A and B are shown apart, each in its own frame.
Chain A
Amino acid sequence: MKAQVKEDWFRKDRLPHIFCVGCGNGTIINCVVDAVFHLDLDIDKTVFLSGIGCSSRAPGYMASDSLHTTHGRALAFATGVKLGRPEFDVIVYTGDGDLAAIGGNHFIHACRRNIDMTVVCMNNQIYGMTGGQGSPCTPIGKLSTTTPYGAQETPFDLCELAVGAGANYVARWTSYHVKELRNAVITGIETPGLSFIEVLCQCPTSFGNKNKIGEGVEHASYLRKNAMLLQKARRMEEEGKKIPPETFIVGEYVKRSRPVMGGKT
């Protein structure tokens, strides 16, 4: 069945949602819904999946069939769904911990196989659901409950990882860049193969406040202020200029047509 209005994509009897005041997840879900509505996907032929985390609660709010799986494993479950029914549109919501820590192995292999699905990672640079522990995406020096003296480990660049592992479409935006994000999700769904869209997003409760960035609005404007287009970042690199710390590089990393698994025939 097709949606008549955008709201048809929401499971209305599940609202209100569990997200904190000022959280960026709602904005991201809204952009994804904008994209599927724009593409006029069939609700009954779309499956949303996720692992465990705040971000992973998103499929519960979607009106389609949805599978809320175990921590880190959403992409493996999604592989079974997509290979079982290649005609479905499969979209995975995940968090930076879910995807890059416990689910890191599934992430690189899903990219390598280039399974035809779209993965939206809400990267709040922290473990939100469990109360703000450090993640593989917590920047050096940032405070979390398990990095009380500042994170010491070098974080992942999830987009470079996805490009290296073989995904066909890779882009990064922030929860501030709603138009770009919506368009990236549209391109992601339209591109055969694995599309990976990383979205930097605010978590005032566990990250923003602790790191003196502030509440939701301040945190979102911090994301905007520190965003730099990929083209500019590449140019600066070529010119040997240093990219300032706390910069979020945004834009389209790759769009290509490596062989795809589980594509629609």
Chain B
Amino acid sequence: MSQLEFVQGNIACGKGAIAAGCTFFGGYPITPSTEVAEYMAAALPKIEGGCFIQMEDEIAGIACAIGAAWTGARSMTATSGPGFSLMMENIGYAFMTETPCVIVNVQRGGPSTGQPTMAAQGDMMQARYGSHGDYSIIALCPATVQECFELTVKAFNLSDQFRCPVFVMTDEIIGHMRERILIPDSVEIIRPKPAKPTDLPFGTDESDIPGFLPFGSGQRIHVTGLTHDERGYPDSSSYQRHEMLIKRLVHKIESRRHEIADYEIVNPDAKIIFICYGVPARTVQQLAAQDKAIGYLRLRIVWPFPEEVLKQFKNVTTFIVPEMNLGMISREIERHTAIPVVSVGKIGGDLHTAQELQEVANAYKTAGGQR
């Protein structure tokens, strides 16, 4: 029976994970993400094969989540800014080894210890580029508590489908806000494409995504973060090998960015188009309801960035991008369009008010797209 509940975004992430069949959580407490761990600590021991472990730090949290993923478990960790920074090396490892795993980042004000109890969207670039080397990941941005549930489920599916780490990028506001949510009886579950024990562990067909066999399946796989061949064996001195591997790993995600894309468009014919994701989208929605001269694009998946969508706005003279940072995704948008992009960054933890955004919109309505 589906049921209605009144919960925080962090709890909704935990419930989404359980609904998706997550059986392993490894992590380290940090405000404002801790409730995700606390929820999993209570829920997982009640599940057959379920395991929760509080590790000694976030490096270990993601490490054990990756280890568990190789035993076939749907596995995850959750953290906030400082912990996210600590995870970066092993996030690169998960990408390189094509390990499915989900990382929830409840963003808070940074850098450093910053504002532990205040919201931000300052980790959007770190999510995409924070580990070293060339890579690509998938990042989802819920704007409601319901979406915390739904996008966590989706994160597990995308992670299995694409065999890469997937981020659920929430923030302190959505993480701690309570809303009514509908929890369905069951959710769609997409597991990794299975391999045959005789397949080369990292060999692929035209999909660029290798089939997955967890440890114990008889494939006897060697998994390494070194540049490797289709057998998984290190081969780090050939530039062709490195180029082939990394291009495949990036390509398997980037070439499908329009298929992965998940967004909402309202009033696409408007001249003023807001582009938003996560919690600032709520203010934009409020504004669009009262001012018919503006439209918006709300991204539920920010990475990989679906730049083709920008072409749907035929009359646009200005893109306005409100973010809880000093302009991150606005720069990504800028590099894909000739239309002027106005960044409305706000940091410190407060949301933009509808009034503030209205004033920016009004300024550009008359300026006709002049910067």
Contacts and interface: CB of A to CB of B under 8 A. Distances in A.
B71 A84 contact: yes
A220 B300 CA distance: 61
A73 interface: yes
B220 A44 contact: yes
5 contacts: A45-B216, A66-B222, A68-B225, A79-B67, A81-B70
B75 interface: yes
Interface in B47-82: 51, 53, 55-57, 59-60, 63-73, 75
Interface in A35-83: 43-45, 47, 49, 59-60, 63-70, 73, 76-83
A232 interface: no
Interface of B: 24, 26, 51, 53, 55-57, 59-60, 63-73, 75, 89-90, 93, 215-226, 231, 233-234
A11 interface: yes
Given A44-B220, A60-B224, A14 B233 contact: yes
Given A68-B223, A73-B60, A79-B53, A88 B67 contact: no
B215 A106 contact: no
Contacts of B66: 69, 77, 80
Contact of B221 (A65, A73, A81, A109): A65
Interface residues of A, number: 34
Contact of B55 (A14, A45, A65, A109): A109
Given A76-B59, A84-B24, A63 B64 contact: no
Nearest to A109: B56
B67 A76 contact: yes
Nearest to A105: B56
Contacts of B233: 13-14, 60
B90 A80 contact: no
Contact of B63 (A65, A80, A84): A80
Contacts, number: 123
B75 A80 contact: yes
Given A60-B233, A79-B53, A83-B53, A11 B222 contact: yes
What is the interface of chain A mostly: helix, strand, loop, or mixed?
A: helix
Nearest to A59: B222
A67 B75 contact: no
Contacts of A6: none
A69 B61 CA distance: 14
Contacts of A49: 67
Contacts of B93: 69-70
Contacts of A106: 56, 60, 63
Contacts of A79: 26, 53, 55, 60, 63-64, 67
A1 interface: yes
A145 B335 CA distance: 47
A263 B225 CA distance: 28
B233 to A, nearest CB: 6
A85 interface: yes
A80 B218 contact: no
B63 A77 contact: yes
B59 A73 contact: yes
